[in-house]
Amino acid sequence: MDVADLPGVPEWLPDHLRDDGIEELYPPQAEAVEAGVTEGKNLVASIPTASGKTLIAELAMLSSVARGGKALYIVPLRALASEKQADFEEFEQYGLDIGVSTGNYESEGGWLADKDIVVATSEKVDSLVRNDAPWIEDLTCVVTDEVHLVDDGERGPTLEVTLAKLRRLNPDLQTVALSATIGNAEALATWLDAGLVDSDWRPIDLQKGVHYGQALHLEDGSQQRLSVQNNEKQTAAIVRDTLEDDGSTLVFVNSRRNAEAAAGRLANTVRPHLSDEERGRLADIAEEIRDVSDTETSDDLADAVADGAAFHHAGLSRGHRELVEDAFRDRLVKVVCATPTLAAGVNTPSRRVVVRDWRRYDGSAGGMAPLSVLEVHQMMGRAGRPGLDPYGEAVLIANSHDEVDELFERYVWADPEPVRSKLAAEPALRTHILATVASGFARSREGLLEFLEQTLYASQTDEGGQLERVVDDVLTYLQRNGFLEIEAGELDATSLGHTVSRLYLDPMSAAEIVDGLRDWERGASDSTSASGSPADPQAEPPADSGFTTASELAENAAGSDDDRDPDDISALGLYHLVSRTPDMYQLYLRSGDREEYEMELFEREEELLGPTPSEFEEGRFEDWLSALKTARLLEDWATEVDEATITERYGVGPGDIRGKVETAQWLLGAAESLASEVDLDAARAISEARIRVEHGVREELVDLAGVRGVGRKRARRLFQAGITDRAQLRDADKAVVLAALRGRRKTAENVLENAGHRDPSMEGVEPAPDVSVDLDDGDTDTNGDVTADDDQSSLGDF
């Protein structure tokens, strides 16, 4: 189909596409147009990655906007939100306004209501609906990227429920759903009352194969000789072979450690193939990587990159990831060894893809579980860059002759699994039922079930019995914990319930937080026996186990003599409290850790909020310990322990620290709201703990770190120079400030201005000579300090 023949699109679009070198649509795109995407029709497109999904989305959104509408583009990852924003911003020249909204970022300059196209994550959209964002009603078109993720147990239900809500709010809404190739695209189409484009077409050939011994067996039956030389691994042989053809390789492995180890080894394979010029540019990038942070991960990555290899996983910080992705796209880095982060995420195609590990550890399966066909196909789909490579090759690695056949059967020739709704699971319904009631989508049990009828789950199952049963369990749970009231069949969210829904908390997290805080106020004496575990946990839904109901408000109102002062709650206690909620991704407890944290628990049990579960309750006790480990990490961060020490002590990457800190910040913010909601007096302690973790500073720096432009390091330097709070900074001797900030005039001016200094100008000011500021060269003060504390407390016990 020629771009001139597109019905319903703005008149500038055909020319715009031609300028981009697009004269004709790809076949699946043409099918989509024939199905009416540009004329407001619903559509499900199940097509491979990189076969033009984005254009289908654009056609739908632009034509909808051209008719005076407003479009929403839902992405699964924050990283994709910014990528799509960049894509769509080229339409700004035609007067369109693009906006982005994710948890940590909101586009500035004009509210989202004024935007023509809004990009957001599914959770953010859910949250916007819960908080009654007024512009939601103006939407005329919603595009969902990667809809097959409704199959995901944790995040799928959010997408499902959110789509159902959007469609309910606005029955005329055009719904376009983009999916990877899946087994049951027609089921999605039925659910969304949509036309269907289901195609395998790719703009560039993809040849799948399995490597074993000295040969690469391809799916068309041919074989390529690809010999493994002296001692090298199969992966190395493939990488070398690709390099000889001047191509790059993406290697998928199943753990972070494997990614790092493989990158280190493959660096040796790549090194001899680099030109001098490449070596020079790679050295520069390696230097930038070292600048991002001075952790071991950072060093290892820099070493590998200097040789043209890299690893990529979620433990990397944002800066690291971007540098690696860019260098790979620029073809400087020849090999990237990645965990599945890269397959789901951003656009980094490569000549060849190697799927080295096809099994992955899965705690719920109790061991290694094979990857799904869908996942493997998604990884393989990264092979071949349109316009750059003649074709793409995706290779699985077999370790035996039998495995060759197995891999062909299991992945190369197999069709992807059907997508199935995971909505009927209790944890998902807990949060969505509360939100559905709180935001007025349902006012009775029947209304609730009727609403759930609009989900994929309902369209995929014939017997409603299962769903109904879980719904009743969840309603009971929500009622018992004081989130909902049920009266004469009427459902009503309590004010606590509304708060929880708006805060986007899992109700179970909210219950845990409220109970923990309340338990503290009630005093320690009766808490050891106060575990709310039902007598027979087996008979109760798992959601209930171990929690006193949050509705026992009246019980402690009387107050007793052993009430404790809420200001005495320690930061560790609060960090532990939020770390044990289901909203915090827990740290893995390694074998050696168990003993260490049992000891730690023994020493600091007093500080924790709520009764420690019995050691015989295996699962709960384990969770309690790993929450303690997470809490310790946060405490270290809030005690100015430096990054490198933390990564080493807890076995995490630099990016993980950021993630934990961010989550803790969010949950503590939520805890603050909850405390005031239920009249608990802990707000001050929580707020301080939150600010400390936010800036990563000890108590005495909280005030200083609140000044814009002052982080944990600058705050500490100022403090050492004798400036201990914001007020002092406001009237400080400029010479001292300048010296404390190591003579950086511009920084000092900024800081003083933000602190409200009368005359921030640094002109003619010289750093005061008697102020010494040596904290970042080596692990002198802050770290040394903390390490000493640490030694003291642990040594004292042996």
- Applying CB under 7 A, among 26, 73, 666, 719 the residue interacting with DNA is 666
In angstroms, rounded to a whole number, what is the distance separating the alpha carbons of residues 388 and 398? 29
In angstroms, rounded to a whole number, what is the distance separating the alpha carbons of residues 204 and 194? 28
348-387 residues in contact with DNA (CB under 7 A) are 357, 359-362, 365-370
To the nearest 10 degrees (0 to 180), the angle between helices 507-522 and 654-677 is: 70
**What three-state secondary structure class fits 588?**
coil
141 vs 584 by CB, closer to DNA? 584
| Interacting span for DNA (CB under 7 A) from 7-15, 274-282, 537-545, 668-676 | 668-676
In angstroms, rounded to a whole number, what is the distance separating the alpha carbons of residues 137 and 88? 22
Give the total of residues touching DNA (CB under 7 A): 78
In angstroms, rounded to a whole number, what is the distance separating the alpha carbons of residues 656 and 591? 20
265-324 residues in contact with DNA (CB under 7 A) are 265, 313-315
| Interacting span for DNA (CB under 7 A) from 183-191, 547-555, 620-628, 707-715 | 707-715
Q: Cβ of residue 655: shortest distance to DNA, in angstroms?
A: 8
Here's the x/- map for DNA, 73-92, by CB under 7 A: it reads as: ---xxxx-------------
- Applying CB under 7 A, among 512, 544, 583, 623 the residue interacting with DNA is 583
Please check whether residue 685 is in contact with residue 573, taking contact to mean a CB–CB distance below 8 angstroms.
no
Q: Cβ of residue 366: shortest distance to DNA, in angstroms?
A: 3
215-244 residues in contact with DNA (CB under 7 A) are 233
Q: Cβ of residue 371: shortest distance to DNA, in angstroms?
A: 8
To the nearest 10 degrees (0 to 180), the angle between helices 426-438 and 122-130 is: 40
Q: Cβ of residue 617: shortest distance to DNA, in angstroms?
A: 19
Continuous segment of H or E residues that includes residue 74: strand 71-75
From the annotation, which residues make up the binding site? 29
683-702 residues in contact with DNA (CB under 7 A) are 695
Q: Cβ of residue 746: shortest distance to DNA, in angstroms?
A: 11
Work out whether 160 is an interface residue with DNA (CB under 7 A).
no
Work out whether 662 is an interface residue with DNA (CB under 7 A).
yes
591-610 residues in contact with DNA (CB under 7 A) are 591-592
Here's the x/- map for DNA, 181-220, by CB under 7 A: it reads as: ----------------------------------------
**Chain CA centroid to CA 781, Å:** 34
Work out whether 502 is an interface residue with DNA (CB under 7 A).
yes
Please check whether residue 350 is in contact with residue 248, taking contact to mean a CB–CB distance below 8 angstroms.
yes
In angstroms, rounded to a whole number, what is the distance separating the alpha carbons of residues 451 and 459? 12
- Applying CB under 7 A, among 42, 64, 162, 339 the residue interacting with DNA is 339
251-270 residues in contact with DNA (CB under 7 A) are 254-258, 261-262, 265
Work out whether 614 is an interface residue with DNA (CB under 7 A).
no
Work out whether 109 is an interface residue with DNA (CB under 7 A).
no
Please check whether residue 213 is in contact with residue 205, taking contact to mean a CB–CB distance below 8 angstroms.
no
* Closest listed residue to residue 65, CA positions, set 21, 99, 119, 115: 115
709-738 residues in contact with DNA (CB under 7 A) are 709-715
- Applying CB under 7 A, among 200, 708, 761, 793 the residue interacting with DNA is 708
Q: Cβ of residue 195: shortest distance to DNA, in angstroms?
A: 29
57-76 residues in contact with DNA (CB under 7 A) are 76
Work out whether 665 is an interface residue with DNA (CB under 7 A).
yes
| Interacting span for DNA (CB under 7 A) from 42-50, 147-155, 602-610, 758-766 | 147-155
- Applying CB under 7 A, among 503, 572, 578, 738 the residue interacting with DNA is 503
To the nearest 10 degrees (0 to 180), the angle between helices 591-604 and 618-637 is: 80
- Applying CB under 7 A, among 2, 34, 92, 106 the residue interacting with DNA is 106
| Interacting span for DNA (CB under 7 A) from 38-46, 173-181, 185-193, 336-344 | 336-344
Q: Specify burial of residue 141 (Cβ count, 10 A radius: 0-12, 13-18, 19+).
A: buried
475 vs 664 by CB, closer to DNA? 664
How many C-beta atoms surround the C-beta of residue 471 within 10 A? 19
How many C-beta atoms surround the C-beta of residue 55 within 10 A? 18
| Interacting span for DNA (CB under 7 A) from 139-147, 327-335, 387-395, 666-674 | 666-674
413 vs 585 by CB, closer to DNA? 585
In angstroms, rounded to a whole number, what is the distance separating the alpha carbons of residues 117 and 71? 5
Per 3-state DSSP, the chain is made up of helix, strand and coil in percentages (nearest 5) of: 50, 10, 35
Q: Bridge partners of 177?
A: 44, 144
Q: Which amino acid is at 614?
A: S
Work out whether 99 is an interface residue with DNA (CB under 7 A).
no
In angstroms, rounded to a whole number, what is the distance separating the alpha carbons of residues 361 and 690? 34
From the annotation, which residues make up the binding site for ATP? 29
Distance in Å from the first CA to the final CA of the chain: 78
- Applying CB under 7 A, among 70, 84, 115, 124 the residue interacting with DNA is 124
502 vs 649 by CB, closer to DNA? 502
DSSP per-residue codes, 9-35: S-TTHHHHHHHTT--B--HHHHHHHHT
For the chain, the maximum distance between any two Cα atoms, rounded to a whole number of angstroms, is 83
Q: Cβ of residue 206: shortest distance to DNA, in angstroms?
A: 22
- Applying CB under 7 A, among 345, 392, 611, 767 the residue interacting with DNA is 345
Q: Cβ of residue 15: shortest distance to DNA, in angstroms?
A: 35
Q: Cβ of residue 505: shortest distance to DNA, in angstroms?
A: 8
* Residues 278, 282, 285: CA angle, nearest 5 degrees: 150
**Chain CA centroid to CA 720, Å:** 37
438-457 residues in contact with DNA (CB under 7 A) are none
Q: Which amino acid is at 445?
A: R
Question: Which residues, 6 or more positions from 319, have their beta carbon under 8 angstroms from its beta carbon?
Answer: 292, 293
To the nearest 10 degrees (0 to 180), the angle between helices 495-503 and 426-438 is: 110
Q: Cβ of residue 365: shortest distance to DNA, in angstroms?
A: 3
391-420 residues in contact with DNA (CB under 7 A) are 399
Q: Cβ of residue 126: shortest distance to DNA, in angstroms?
A: 7
Handedness of CA 277, 280, 284, 285 (dihedral sign): positive
In angstroms, rounded to a whole number, what is the distance separating the alpha carbons of residues 347 and 80? 9
Q: Cβ of residue 493: shortest distance to DNA, in angstroms?
A: 15
Ramachandran region of residue 52, left (φ > 0), alpha (ψ -120 to 50) or beta? left
Q: Cβ of residue 593: shortest distance to DNA, in angstroms?
A: 8
